[in-house]
Amino acid sequence: PKKEKICLYFVDRDGDRITVNADVGSSLLDVAIDNDIELEVSLCFKLADGSEHTAMAKVGDNLLDIIIDNDIDVDGFGACEGTLACSTCHLIFKPDQYDQIQEKPTDEELDMLDLAFGLSDTSRLGCQVIVTKEMDGWEIEVPSGVADARG
């Protein structure tokens, strides 16, 4: 049977309308993804001083960029600008969320993580973790110190 379609529009941050044809019965999230509409999720970064910073994160960006773009001020964070040379972008995830991160760490990331300050079983380097739609509402811990592997 032919699927019933409706026309609907999304409004982006600038107020522009993006009109799409959607199959009746499909989720809005799937409609957005199928139509290449940029999605954002909300992330909460918990700092060692107890402060929490909520940031809107574009799906497809890496977590280092999200922290920098949202002016979340962590001394020394992201020192090598995402070139996998410093380990200062160390982040700690909740165990169930750690398992949901789509890209698993490469050997290079694991080697660099070994040098990170306060390493845990659910640590990753922020510059190597890409935001996905599953991450909406995640709380991510920023460790209390950074260790720059470059010495």
Q: Report the interface residues with ligand FES, using CB under 6 A.
A: 64, 78-80, 82, 84-89, 112, 125, 127
Q: Determine contact, residues 10/106, Cβ cutoff 8 Å.
A: no
CB of 83 to ligand FES, least distance (A): 6
Beta carbon nearer to ligand FES, 32 or 109: 109
Read off the amino acid at residue 38.
E
As a whole number of angstroms, the distance between CA 3 and CA 9 comes to 19
Q: Whose CA is closest to 142, among 40, 41, 53?
A: 53
Beta carbon nearer to ligand FES, 76 or 137: 76
What's the burial of 39, exposed, middle or buried (CB within 10 Å: 0-12/13-18/19+)?
middle
- 149 CB-near residues (< 8 Å, 6+ apart): 85, 86, 87, 112, 115, 116
Beta carbon nearer to ligand FES, 89 or 131: 89
Beta carbon nearer to ligand FES, 124 or 138: 124
CB of 96 to ligand FES, least distance (A): 24
CB of 150 to ligand FES, least distance (A): 9
CB of 124 to ligand FES, least distance (A): 10
